[in-house]
Each structure stands twice: as structure tokens, then as C-alpha cells.
Amino acid sequence: MTNRTPLAVLDLVPISTGSNAAEALHNSMDLARQAEQLGYTRYWFAEHHLNPGVAGTSPAVVLALTAGATSTIRIGSGAVQMGHRTALSTVEEFGLIDALYPGRLDLGLGRSGGKPPGGAPSGPPPEAHRTGNGLLIPKRPSLAHLFKSPRFAMQKKLLQLPEAKSQDYTEQVADVLALLRGTYRTADGVEAHIVPGEGADLQVWILGSSGGESAQVAGANGLRFAANYHVSPATVLEAADGYREAFVARDELAQPYVSVSADVVVADTEATARELAAGYGAWVRSIRTGAGAIQFPTPGQAREYTWTDEDRALVTDRVDTQFTGSPKQVADQLEQLQEATHADELIITTITHDHADRVRSYRLLAEEWSRR
């Protein structure tokens, strides 16, 4: 890849209809190897739980497998959900992987534990609009129902020990950094030193969907930041701007560094790409209704879904901001996203029913990107 803006991969380890978790994991290992050959700069895994259509439950475990299947591409979490974890367990897990595969790991930390992304928004959401260069910034949908659903309460109960309380995220990130650097001290002066883990050659990232706590924590600690256009396209600009405004230079990073995600499907023609992406709306719908991600449907299965106006309103922001088309069309849209957000890097997530179509999408994009 020769384009000045690197491309990376975000993988949810999706399970397609008619498939299973084992096949999904084998597909991810294959895609990671091919992404390395195609010149993608890093390969990240997300963390999701209780989703029938997603096998990426433990980034650290999948990363250990991927490290052995690849040799040069950076690998990481996008992101570890810190709401049900401790700083110690996180540094220990990534320290173990780094001990065998030093210098390749990205530790992406995400805020979770019951709060809506970005906190509770104030005032009505702005209407959909386009930036000066034409990038769509859609209206933000209301997702308050997700955090009140019985399924969400069950997930929290199963992930956390009884009576456990999530640590304040700002404090938790500070603890992770102190444990990695060997500077952790309790209030009464007791030191903690993790082996392996302390001194690990990791890049620490913060992932966020708004200009709130996550962006502020990333900036204040001089860390790299990933803004989620593919999850919350309505708030991507405020996320990137909030991070840059809060950024304080540190030894590890002298200037802000932002990666912006995009959901992408590429094929030889726009019509083919749209056909391959037909299941995306139903898949997003399953997540946002609180049911959990379904197994990714075939285009034919997707066309059989019955849609209400409420369903469409729930997924419009995601469907309308998915970049779907020929290599040139999608690359043009990615350049538009980069220009609007001033991203230093773009991270691509692609889901299709058939693994071969997914691999081909990444290949076509890499080939087009290298010509620019």
C-alpha cells in the first residue's frame, strides 16, 4: 500500500447463517494472513458477548492465535471492554502475548459497564447534514432502550462478580499505564510489578464514540485515539475534535494520532457490492433492538425480513454511512472521510455472508488504495 493514509482491519469474527464459531475463527485467521500480505497496517478484534452471530468474545485469546498465524502485521483489541475487567488482568493478558510476540501488540481500551456511548446527550440530536466536502453526518438515533433492556442487565450480571462495581474509567486507564510503566503505587506506597507485562512494548489506544470521557482520557494521557464512524457516525467529528483539543504531548506520542473506522463492502460493481451488503441492515437491527447480533444473513434471507418504520429509523444512520460500491467508489468515500476527520489512519470493518466475498472486498480496496 502506498497511499499516505494507512488502512487497518477491525474484525468482529462474524458467524454467517449456516456456519459456526469454529469456522468463523478459521476465517478470521485466514483474513489476518491475507491482510498482512495486502499491506494493511494492523488487525484488531472487537469484544462482544451473548451475540449468536459474533464469535469475538475474548480479544486476548483471539490475538494469541492470530499472532501465531501472522508475522509482521500489528495486532490488537478494538477494544477490550473495561467495565467488567481490572487493569491488572488486562495488563497481564497482553503482557503474556507480548512476551512471545514483542513489539506487535495494540492494547485498545474501551469504556463499558452500563453507560451509553458518550454519556447521556443533552438536547435534541442535530438533523442529518453533510460536511463541507460532502461526508454524511446522520441524525443520532435514540438508543436509550438498549441500556434498560433485560438482556443488557443479564449481560452485566454474567460478566461481573456479585456486588462488583466497575472502576472509574479515567482511574482505570491511569492504572493500566502505571502497571505497564512499572510506576504503580498504592496510597500507602506499596508497589506492584507485573511479570510479564511491565515494560511490554505495547501501543495503548483509547476507543470512543463521542467527545466525552474516552476522548478526554486519550488526549490527557497523550494516547492514540480511534473514533467510531462505523458505530456512531453522528458523533465522529465531535469525538476527533474533542480528543485533539484535550491532547497533551507525552514521550510516547508528540502529536495527536486519530484512527477513524468505516464499515465497507467492495465488489467489482456497485450492484454486486450492494447485494453482498444486503444483510447489514437486518444485522444492525438485531443489535440495536437488544436481541444481540444475529448470524449474518444471505442476501436472499435479508430480503425476507419485514421492516417497520421504527426498524428503519433505528438503523438508518448505520446503513446510510456504510461505504458500498466499486473499488473506486469506496476509496473515494474513504478519502472523503479522511479529509473531513483529518484521520491519520482508517480502520476498515467488512462483513459479508461468504468469507470469499469478504476477503475479496479487502483485496480490491487494498489494490485501489495502493494506486492513489
Tell me, yes or no, whether 313 lies in a domain: no
Looking from the CA of 345 toward its CB, the CA atoms found within 13 Å total: 20
Q: Is there a domain that residue 307 lies in?
A: no
In a domain, 289, yes or no: no
What CATH number did the domain enclosing 51 receive?
3.20.20.30
* pLDDT given at position 85: 95
CA dist., res. 36 & res. 32, Å (int):
6
Answer whether residue 303 is part of any domain: no
Specify the pLDDT at position 145. 82
Amino acid (one-letter) located at 269: T
Q: Is residue 290 included in any domain, yes or no?
A: no
Range of the domain at 100: 7-275+322-370
Number of structural domains found in the chain: 1
Predicted confidence at residue 112, as pLDDT, reads 81
Q: Taking the chain (372 residues) in consecutive chunks of 10 residues, what is each chunk's mean pLDDT? A: 85 98 98 98 96 96 97 97 96 98 97 56 74 96 83 90 93 98 96 97 96 96 98 96 97 95 98 98 95 96 95 96 98 98 98 98 98 94
Return the C-alpha cell found at 287.
443489535
pLDDT the model gives residue 123 = 55
pLDDT reported for residue 149? 83
Q: What is the pLDDT of residue 118?
A: 43
Task: With CA atoms as reference, report the closest residue to 38 among 333, 372, 368, 363.
Answer: 363
Please give the pLDDT value at position 31: 98
Each residue of 35-83: pLDDT tens digit? 999 999 999 999 999 999 999 999 999 999 999 999 999 999 999 999 9
pLDDT tens digits along 111-154: 985 554 444 444 566 789 999 999 999 999 888 888 788 888 89
Q: According to the model, what pLDDT value does residue 1 have? A: 53
Q: Is residue 291 part of a domain?
A: no
> Is 0.85 surpassed by the pTM of this model?
yes
Helix (H) or strand (E) holding 44: strand 42-45
Residue 54 lies in a domain: yes
- pLDDT score of 116: 47
284 part of a folded domain: no
Separation between Cα atoms, residue 56 and residue 28, nearest integer Å: 10
Burial (Cβ within 10 Å: 0-12, 13-18, ≥19) of residue 72: exposed
DSSP string, 229-278: TTT-GGGHHHHHHHHHHH----SS-SS--EEEEEEEEE-SSHHHHHHHTT
